[in-house]
Structure 1
Amino acid sequence: MNRRDFFKSAFSMGVGLVGASALKPLYANDEMKEFRGPDVPDVDAIKVSERCYSIPAMGPHPTPENFGMFSNPGFIVTSEGVVVVDTGSSVQIGEMILRQIKKVTDKPVVKVINTHFHGDHWLGNHAFVEANPNVEILSHQDCITTLKNGADKFWFDFMQSNTNNKITGTVITLPNKTFAGGEEFTLGDTTFKIHHFGKVHTSSDIAVEVKNDKTIFMGDMVMRRVANMEDGSYLGSIKALDAVSKMDLKNIIPMHGTPDDMKLILEGKEFMETIYNNVAELYDEGLSDFEMKPIISEKPFMQNVASKWPGYDSAIGKFIVVAIKEVEQNMF
Structure 2
Amino acid sequence: MTRQDFLRRALALTAVPLLRPIPAFAAAPSPDSVEVSEIAPGVFVHQGRYEMQSPENQGDMANAGIVVGSDAVAVIDTLGSFKVGERLRNAVRAVTDKPIRYVINTHMHPDHVFGNAAFKEDAPAFVANHKLARGLASRAERYLATNKRMLGDAAFAGIEVILPTVPVDNTMSLDLGGRTLLLETQRTAHTDNDLIVTDSATGTLFLGDLLFSVHVPTLDGSIVGWLAVINDLKKRNAPRVVPGHGPHAMELPAAFDPEQRYLADIAADVRKLIKEGKTLEEATKTAGFEDRDAWKLFDDYHVRNVTAAFAELEWD
TM-score w.r.t. structure 2 length?
0.82
Contact kept, 8 Å, 2:217 with 2:259, in 1: the verdict is no
Pairing 1:261–2:254 present: no
Q: Let me know the Cα RMSD of the aligned residues.
A: 2.1
Cα distance in 1 for partners of 2:288, 2:126 equals 41
Q: CA deviation at 1:109?
A: 0.8
Which stretches of structure 1, 4 residues or more, deviate above 3 A after TM superposition?
287-296
Map 1:73-152 to 2 at 5 A: 73-130=64-121, 132-133=122-123, 135-149=124-138, 151-152=139-140
Q: Determine which structure has greater relative contact order: mean sequence separation of CA pairs < 8 Å that are 6+ residues apart, divided by chain length.
A: 2
Cα distance in 1 for partners of 2:48, 2:37 equals 11
Q: CA deviation at 1:104?
A: 1.3
Pairing 1:157–2:148 present: no
In the alignment, which residue of structure 2 is the partner of 1:297?
A: 289
Cα distance in 1 for partners of 2:262, 2:175 equals 35
Gaps of 5+ in 1: 1-38
Shift of the 288–109 alpha-carbon distance from structure 1 to 2, 3 Å rule, reads same
- 157-166 vs 232-241, which moves further: 157-166
Aligned residues: 282
Pairing 1:179–2:165 present: no
Shift of the 160–244 alpha-carbon distance from structure 1 to 2, 3 Å rule, reads same
Shift of the 41–289 alpha-carbon distance from structure 1 to 2, 3 Å rule, reads farther
Shift of the 266–212 alpha-carbon distance from structure 1 to 2, 3 Å rule, reads farther
Secondary structure of 1:174's counterpart equals coil
Query: Rg: which structure is higher?
Result: 1
Q: Deviations over 1:150-199 (max 9, x none)?
A: x2232222221111121212333222111112223443221322122211
Contact kept, 8 Å, 2:32 with 2:90, in 1: the verdict is no
Contact kept, 8 Å, 1:222 with 1:265, in 2: the verdict is yes
Q: CA deviation at 1:90?
A: 1.9
Q: CA deviation at 1:266?
A: 2.7
Cα distance in 2 for partners of 1:226, 1:295 equals 15
Q: CA deviation at 1:227?
A: 5.2
Secondary structure of 2:152's counterpart equals coil
TM-score w.r.t. structure 1 length?
0.79
In the alignment, which residue of structure 1 is the partner of 2:26?
A: none
Give the aligned residue type for 1:324: F
In the alignment, which residue of structure 1 is the partner of 2:14?
A: none
Pairing 1:237–2:229 present: no
Gaps of 5+ in 2: 1-29
Out of 267, 270, 294, which is 1:308 matched to?
294
Out of 156, 176, 188, which is 1:199 matched to?
188
Map 1:54-65 to 2 at 5 A: 54-65=45-56
